Amino acid sequence: MHDPRQPRTLRARTLSALVIDSNGFSRTLIGDILRSLDVGDVASARTEDEATTHLAGHACDLVLVSWEEGDALDGLGLCRRLRRGHFDRLRRIPILFVTAALTRQLVIDGRDAGVDEFLAKPISPAAMRQRLEMVIETPRPFVDCAVFIGPCRRRKNPADYHGAMRRAGDQEDTRQTPLVDHDEAMAQTPIRRALAALRDACRDLRNGRPSTLAAALDHSRRAREIAITDNDLALQSALQTFDSYIVVAAPLRQIEANVLSTALGALEQLATLPMDYAEARDSVAAALGKAIKKKLAA
């Protein structure tokens, strides 16, 4: 059985990955992106128990832990427990931490928990492939001592270091500063600008006011016009699904924050995924449609 931290050329088809995510939609999406990159064996787990059971019986090359605030799954706690496990191979397995809420403090806490690399949502295939190359081709040296177990927290070229101070006694406040400016990231193309405006318009949807619903639907219509111009059928379908949810739920004040966040995240993910990733894009639109249909039927 090979050492998961032994540097080697990335051959995606030979990789075995485990995606751990309590959100079924997000779990499916990450798996689809990995498959679109030709990763040969992609498994998933909803809970820590499912993850540990799978890892006990399968030789995985890496683990992806997806976490958002409010999740039932304790993402960083899971990382810490993996690093402190009894089996050396599981302790050393590369861990990618995936989240939409990537802050400097989360990076610090993640490094202390034994995370190898971080990936911000919405996920681009290029960013995913880069992280795979980092953990497979140039893995961090592994430290196993009384005070810390995990990949070395320093780099020779610290691309993930954000500031002049690095000692424990330094007082710079970096606790909630996002590493990824969501508005800036979504403002690179017309469709991303339209979806950023849609997200902004949805912030007050739960108050049930007709004006807020009208504003959200107007921004959704503008986004759909761009999708039609771009001949983006997957995004058109997802926007129609989004409209069906808010038209029913908003007037009744039954908008659920997690459902709205999932829907907006799906739209933004479609804006990020290139058109030539057709299978992954269709999967995102289909998964969103299925989730919203189930929610409306409840």
pLDDT per residue as tens digits for the range 152-189: 877 544 444 444 444 444 444 444 555 555 555 555 78
Burial degree of 159 (CB within 10 A; 0-12, 13-18, 19+): exposed
Round the average pLDDT of the chain to a whole number and report it. 87
Distance CA 289, CA 240 (A): 9
Same domain, 189 and 171: no
Is 265 among the domain residues? yes
Query: What pLDDT does residue 195 have?
Result: 95
pTM of structure: 0.79
Is 125 among the domain residues? yes
Same domain, 57 and 164: yes
Residue 280 above 90 pLDDT? no
Locate 175 and state its tokens: 């606790």
Is 201 among the domain residues? yes
188-191 long-range Cβ contacts below 8 angstroms, 24+ apart: 189/271, 190/226, 191/223, 191/226, 191/227, 191/230, 191/232, 191/235, 191/271
Listed residues 132, 159, 179: the one ending a domain: 179
Same domain, 22 and 162: yes
Average pLDDT over residues 104-115: 93
Question: Which residue spans within the chain are E strands per DSSP?
Answer: 16-20, 41-45, 62-66, 95-99, 117-120, 142-144, 149-151
Same domain, 117 and 260: no
- Among the ranges 87-96, 213-222, 279-288, which has the highest mean pLDDT value? 213-222
Query: What pLDDT does residue 174 have?
Result: 44
Residue 26 above 50 pLDDT? yes
Distance CA 293, CA 89 (A): 42
Is 75 among the domain residues? yes
Per DSSP, what are the bridge partners of residue 16?
A: 41
C-alpha dist (Å) from residue 125 to 39, 100, 102, 211? 12, 16, 18, 37
Stronger pLDDT, 164 or 239, i.e. the higher one: 239
Locate 169 and state its tokens: 């006694």
What's the CATH code of the domain at 74?
A: 3.40.50.2300
Average pLDDT over residues 90-113: 92
Query: What pLDDT does residue 162 have?
Result: 41
Listed residues 157, 179, 201: the one ending a domain: 179
Is 96 among the domain residues? yes
Listed residues 124, 159, 179: the one ending a domain: 179
Q: Are 37 and 125 in contact (CB under 8 A)?
A: yes
Q: Which DSSP string do the residues of 4-70 spell out, in sequence order?
A: TTS-----GGG-EEEEE-S-HHHHHHHHHHHHHTT-SEEEEESSHHHHHHHHHHS--SEEEEE--TT
- What does DSSP say about strands 95-99 and 142-144: parallel, antiparallel, or unpaired? unpaired
Distance CA 92, CA 87 (A): 9
Residue ranges making up the domain that contains 276: 183-297
Locate 294 and state its tokens: 């189930």
Same domain, 239 and 142: no
Locate 27 and state its tokens: 């779990």
How many domains does the structure of the chain reveal?
2
Distance CA 67, CA 78 (A): 11
